[in-house]
Amino acid sequence: MAEKPVYLDHNATTPVDPRVLEFMLPYFTEHFGNASSRSHPYGLEAAHAVEFAREQIASLIGAEAKEIIFTSGATESVNLAMKGVFETYASKGNHIILLETEHKAVMDTASTLEKKGAAVTILKPESNGMIQPDLLEAAIRPDTILIAAMYANNETGVIQPVQAISAIARKNGVLFFTDATQAVGKIPVQVEQDGIDLMAFSAHKMYGPKGVGALYVRRKQPRVKLTAQLDGGGHERGLRSGTLNVPGIVGFGKAAEICKQEMAADTKRLAKLRDKLEHAFLQMEEVQVNGDTNHRLPHVTNITFRYIEGDGLMLGFNQKVAVSSGSACSSALTEPSHVLIAMGLTADQAKSTLRFSLGRYTKEQEIDFAIKAISDTVMKLREISPLWEMYKEGMDLDQFNWPG
């Protein structure tokens, strides 16, 4: 069997930590009870395991255990948060504000709510990917009920000024929801300090299993109320019915515990490797890093290699290095990244861009290998690229009038 490519796509998903898997395994066989069947030891055992995991996850983000609602993943959490607020606070208003660089889960949920009568304002970020708080505050109306702003972007790693956003929301009596799927477990996220009212996140982005996520729902100052989106049984404080995924939840809890213990060390090591990768590519001509480099996740870099036909870039090394050209949820689409377009890149530039996201098991020799494989591919593609030839001849391609 051929050797697997170097994996640098941890923002798409992470491998399950062996310690997490070991902790989960007994809950598939030996401790298989239904956490809602508390009339006998099997169910009680499962229920206790779920509550312990709830405490582990709450501890990671500085929340109370009762504020953690388990879901099937971040997408469900996003839907529950946004649709739940829209329905519950309909008497107050119907206006929702979000950023143009949000994940498709947020954007598409907002589109669905528009069809149900929501008024949605989408704010454009600066070229560095960050939103100006003044612009956000100016968009608030008397009927605004929710601000949705991603904590850290999945494509660029850019971290939004969360505390400034939450302060504006609080001052204006608006709820603040953040999709923190890429941030939780990677950087310190503290819901009280950050002023977050609702927060979606997922286990498989932090070395836990797929198919399990959580929604943080603030219980006081203010107490956030939601309308359930799934009916039947009244599980999870009546907010999310359905038999709980006990093995997944147990794994989620263990993953959270490990992240809390090892986050600082992982951050330091991965930032060093990320910077090495970035520095090597920046030695080449016409290469740029997208997004604010002072406010971003430690393991992510988003790099454009200009004057290359984008379709060939990934094909040149995809058997050697696994990276992404955008979000995992939309990588099958041919259109350019909506995040990069919102930041001012052209469609051609966006299509010639790669997202590198390192992880807990990334080794320095893998970074060295990726640097060579991708650099070689870029150089080969430029040798046969008419765009590169025109650029070297001094033509301003941004101003060039293409025929047709």
Query: Phi/psi of residue 217, each to 5°?
Result: -125, 115
d(Cα 116, Cα 376) in Å, to the nearest integer? 51
Catalytic site residues?
329
Residue 57: phi, psi to the nearest 5? Answer: -70, -40
Residue 124's identity, in one-letter code, is K
